[in-house]
Structure 1
Amino acid sequence: MAHLLPLLTALLLCSYGPVGSLGCELPENSVQLSRMTLGLLVQMRTISPGLCLRDRRDFRFPRDVLNASHFHKTQDMSVPHEMLQQIYNLFHTQQASAAWNKTLLAELHTALQQQLQDLNACLVQGRAQQDSVLTTESPTLALRRYFQGIHVYLKEKRHSDCAWEIVRMELLRALASTIKLQESLRSKDGDSRTS
């Protein structure tokens, strides 16, 4: 049995290797849709951030999850997917509906749903292989902890207007960072097609 462990480990790693070559490419319109989402978040501003300075919080955005060179391609795509899913979940609550302009909120939901559908096709292909070797410090786990902190903050602040404004500002920065990752992934896709 002791001799089987290295063999099983090798087989597991070999089965994981092709995930990046499953033909999964970031959809061409993903960066454009993310920029549209970013624009919607900008438009959603309801109060001046200057009025909310006492409510500021460092949510400790896990910037290391955005380093595309550290992960296989499917994991890379799981980062923008997880980010968009968590933003969707955050703004798809009763508290969010009460806090934001209904029209802009509906447009945000639609944009996020489109992006999530586009990314799902690729993720489904590699999900089983990816899940089998995720570590406790996976990029998606780090993002989930980050968003859990945002949920806790909103609850502590009783979903006040200032709390939502601070979260909106935080998500603008986080989404802008995710767009940079998507641009990097798009350029990787272009490089892999030309080689």
Structure 2
Amino acid sequence: CALWVTALLLVSRVWAMPTNCRFRRGLVEICHSLLISMGGRFPLRCIDDHVLVPFPKTAFEYNTRQQAGAIKQSIYVTLKHIYSVFDNDEVPEQWSVQEKFEDFQNILYRQTEENECVVNKQFESLDDFLKRETALRVYFEKLRTILKEKDFQYCAWEFVRDEVQHILLFILKTDFDGWFSRRG
């Protein structure tokens, strides 16, 4: 009986361990849900402030297996950029419950920490990744610029929140041949 309990405890510990270098779908889904619940629908009063900043979907396109590593790095870089955009104390007071915002930040941080090994891996197509990384960096710089130009006002944050919701949904829908772990 003791052997059975010990084995069961060992299996449960291994199952609960983080899956390194494998993005956790459930955590990305939670981030997406938290963003939605923080502020609800995009406010009508902010429609005039909405700016067209197209997300660089090309950073996630791939045809060959050699490009698979670049895609994983693109997901990592995207999550890292999202974390850095929201790593700001000037988020709107109108967003409900500060706990949700903190949970959102903590989950993003966890995803990037657990998957830092993705960036450290050497893939065959480094030039391909660098092009993708540049496109993502430019996109997120535009989002940061909008926040600064609009003096971190409510509507600017709503625009960024709306953009990030679409980004996370895009990543979740694409799923890149099952690269997400189903656990967590």
TM category, shorter = 0.7 to 0.9
Q: Following the alignment from structure 2 to structure 1, what is the Cα–Cα distance between the partners of residues 162 and 129?
A: 28
Specify the code of the residue in structure 1 equivalent to 2:75.
Answer: P
Specify the code of the residue in structure 1 equivalent to 2:38.
Answer: M
1:165 aligns with 2:161: no
Specify which of 110, 117, 121 is matched with residue 113 of structure 2: 117
Provide the residue aligned with 1:102 in structure 2. Answer: 98
| Alignment CA distance shift 1:147-1:188 (3 Å) | closer
Specify which of 39, 44, 48 is matched with residue 33 of structure 2: 39
Q: Following the alignment from structure 1 to structure 2, what is the Cα–Cα distance between the partners of residues 188 and 105?
A: 23
Specify which of 138, 151, 154 is matched with residue 131 of structure 2: 138
Specify which of 163, 167, 186 is matched with residue 178 of structure 2: 186
| Alignment CA distance shift 1:47-1:184 (3 Å) | closer
Specify which of 58, 62, 71 is matched with residue 64 of structure 1: 58
Specify the code of the residue in structure 1 equivalent to 2:50.
Answer: R
The Cα of 1:174 is off from its aligned counterpart by 1.4
Unmatched 5+ stretches in structure 1: 1-24, 190-195
Specify the code of the residue in structure 1 equivalent to 2:37.
Answer: Q
Query: Structure 1 length normalisation: TM-score?
Result: 0.71
CA contact (8 A) 1:26 1:186 kept: no
The Cα of 1:99 is off from its aligned counterpart by 6.8
Specify the code of the residue in structure 2 equivalent to 1:126.
Answer: Q
Q: Following the alignment from structure 1 to structure 2, what is the Cα–Cα distance between the partners of residues 94 and 61?
A: 25
Q: Following the alignment from structure 1 to structure 2, what is the Cα–Cα distance between the partners of residues 121 and 97?
A: 34
Provide the residue aligned with 2:5 in structure 1. Answer: none
Specify the code of the residue in structure 2 equivalent to 1:179.
Answer: L
Specify the code of the residue in structure 1 equivalent to 2:170.
Answer: S
The secondary structure found in structure 2 opposite 1:68 is: coil
Unmatched 5+ stretches in structure 2: 1-19
Specify the code of the residue in structure 2 equivalent to 1:105.
Answer: F
Query: Structure 2 length normalisation: TM-score?
Result: 0.75
Q: Following the alignment from structure 1 to structure 2, what is the Cα–Cα distance between the partners of residues 85 and 107?
A: 15
Provide the residue aligned with 1:82 in structure 2. Answer: 77
Specify the code of the residue in structure 1 equivalent to 2:115.
Answer: L
The secondary structure found in structure 2 opposite 1:54 is: helix
CA contact (8 A) 1:55 1:162 kept: yes
